C-alpha cells in the first residue's frame, strides 16, 4: 500500500481504519503532530510565559509527550518545561519505568524531579493494597498521585501540569462516568479547576496505538511493563470493551469523544451551591471537609 497523501508515493506504514487513510512514516508523524497542535490551540493549552510540569511515568505516552514539547516549542524561549515522576511503590514495576523516565529525561535534556508516596505519605501503594480495602488499587493510586503532582507542581512554580492521556484514556474516562451516572464529574472533565494548577492533555486526540508507533519512530527508549494492579480496575473492563467496539466499528472512540464534546456544552460545570471547601487536614481545596487523599492517609493508620 502507498501513502494516501497527494503526490506522495512512499510505502504506507499504517492504515487508519477510522479515516480510511494510509500514511508513510513522514506523513504519519505529521498527522500525529497536527492533531496535537490542533488540540493545544483549541484548548489554549500553552500560553506565553508558561512553566509546564510534565507528569513523566517512563511509559510510551509521557515520553512521547516530552519529545513533542521539545520538538514543537524548541524556539519558544518564553516557555519552560520540567518533568515530575512519581514512585507509587509498586514492587517489580515502578522501578523499571522510573529508570526509563530518567533515561528519557536525560536524552531529551529535561530536568526531572522525582517524588515517592513513601516519602510524602509514609507508605507505598503495595502497603495500601495489602490492607485489602474494598476499592481497586487504581482508586487510591490515582487520588494520591494527583495530590502529589499537584502539590509538587505548585511548589516548583508550575503554571500548568501536562499529562499524557491519549484518546483511549479520555474515552474510557467519559464512558466510566456515563456508566456510573456521574454527571458532575463528566462536566468537570475539561473544566479548569481554579484552586489547582490547571491540567492540560495535549495527546487526547491521538489513539494509543498511534502514540506507540510515534514513540517507536522517534526512537524513544520504550519499555513494555504493565502494572500488576491494572487488570483489577473497572477501567480495564471498559478498555477491553472499547477496543472490541473499535475493532468491529472503526471510529467508535472518536465518535464517543465528539459526542461528549457536544454534550458537554449542556453539562453543569461549576456548582455554585456546592462551593469548594478546605480540607481540615491539608488545607487544600476539597469537595468535603476532609479530602480524599487525607481520608486514605487516615485509613492507613489503622
User: Which does residue 137 touch among Zn ion, ligand SF4, none (CB within 5 to 8 A, set by kind)?
Assistant: ligand SF4
**Residue 23 makes contact with ligand SF4 by CB under 6 A:** no
**Binding to Zn ion, residues 253-282 (CB under 5 A):** 279, 281-282
E-assigned strand segments in the chain: 14-16, 21-23, 51-55, 80-87, 112-116, 160-162, 199-200, 277-278, 285-286
Q: How far apart are CA 18 and CA 40, in angstroms?
A: 22
Residue 142 Cβ vs ligand SF4, minimum distance, rounded to whole Å? 5
CB burial class (10 A; 0-12, 13-18, 19+) of residue 198?
middle
User: Which does residue 282 touch among ligand SF4, Zn ion, none (CB within 5 to 8 A, set by kind)?
Assistant: Zn ion
Among 32, 227, 291, 296, contact with ligand SF4 (rule: CB under 6 A): 227
Q: At what angle do helices 60-72 and 208-217 cross, to 10 degrees?
A: 60
User: Which does residue 281 touch among Zn ion, ligand SF4, none (CB within 5 to 8 A, set by kind)?
Assistant: Zn ion
**Binding to ligand SF4, residues 228-257 (CB under 6 A):** 229-230, 233
Q: Which is nearer to Zn ion, 124 or 294 (CB)?
A: 294
**Residue 202 makes contact with ligand SF4 by CB under 6 A:** no
Residue 119 Cβ vs Zn ion, minimum distance, rounded to whole Å? 17
**Residue 144 makes contact with Zn ion by CB under 5 A:** no
Q: How far apart are CA 219 and CA 33, in angstroms?
A: 16
Q: How far apart are CA 232 and CA 296, in angstroms?
A: 19
**Residue 141 makes contact with Zn ion by CB under 5 A:** no
- Residue 67 has a CB neighbour count (10 Å cut-off) of 19
Q: Confirm if 96 and 223 have CB atoms less than 8 A apart.
A: yes
Binding site for ligand SF4 (CB under 6 A): 88, 137-138, 141-142, 227, 229-230, 233
Amino acid at each position: 500500500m502507498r501513502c494516501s497523501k497527494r503526490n506522495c508515493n512512499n510505502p504506507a506504514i499504517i492504515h487508519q481504519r477510522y479515516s480510511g487513510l494510509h500514511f508513510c512514516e513522514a506523513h504519519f508523524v505529521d498527522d500525529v503532530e497536527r492533531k496535537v497542535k490542533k488540540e493545544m490551540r483549541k484548548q489554549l493549552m500553552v500560553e506565553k510565559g508558561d512553566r509546564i510540569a510534565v507528569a513523566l511515568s517512563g511509559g510510551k505516552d509521557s515520553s512521547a509527550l516530552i519529545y513533542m514539547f521539545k520538538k514543537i516549542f524548541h524556539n519558544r524561549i518564553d516557555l519552560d518545561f520540567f518533568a515530575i515522576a512519581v514512585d507509587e511503590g509498586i514492587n517489580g514495576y515502578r522501578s523499571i519505568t522510573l529508570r526509563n523516565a530518567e533515561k528519557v529525561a536525560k536524552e531529551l535534556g529535561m530536568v526531572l524531579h522525582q517524588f515517592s508516596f513513601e516519602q510524602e505519605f509514609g507508605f507505598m501503594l503495595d502497603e495500601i493494597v495489602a490492607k485489602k480495602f474494598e476499592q481497586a488499587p487504581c482508586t487510591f493510586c490515582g487520588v494520591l498521585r494527583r495530590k502529589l503532582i499537584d502539590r509538587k507542581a505548585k511548589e516548583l512554580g508550575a503554571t500548568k501540569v501536562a499529562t499524557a492521556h491519549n484518546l483511549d484514556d479520555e474515552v474510557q474516562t467519559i464512558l466510566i462516568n456515563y456508566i456510573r451516572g456521574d454527571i458532575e464529574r463528566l462536566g468537570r472533565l475539561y473544566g479548569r479547576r481554579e484552586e489547582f494548577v490547571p491540567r492540560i492533555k495535549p495527546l487526547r486526540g491521538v489513539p494509543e496505538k498511534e502514540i506507540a508507533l510515534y514513540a517507536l519512530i522517534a526512537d524513544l527508549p520504550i519499555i513494555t511493563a504493565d502494572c500488576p494492579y491494572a487488570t483489577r480496575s473497572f477501567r480495564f473492563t471498559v478498555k477491553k470493551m472499547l477496543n472490541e467496539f473499535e475493532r468491529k466499528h472503526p471510529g467508535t472512540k472518536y465518535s464517543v469523544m465528539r459526542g461528549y464534546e457536544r454534550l458537554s456544552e449542556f453539562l453543569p460545570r461549576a456548582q455554585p451551591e456546592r462551593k469548594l471547601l478546605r480540607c481540615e487536614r491539608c488545607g487544600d481545596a476539597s469537595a468535603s471537609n476532609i479530602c480524599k487523599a487525607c481520608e486514605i492517609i487516615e485509613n492507613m493508620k489503622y
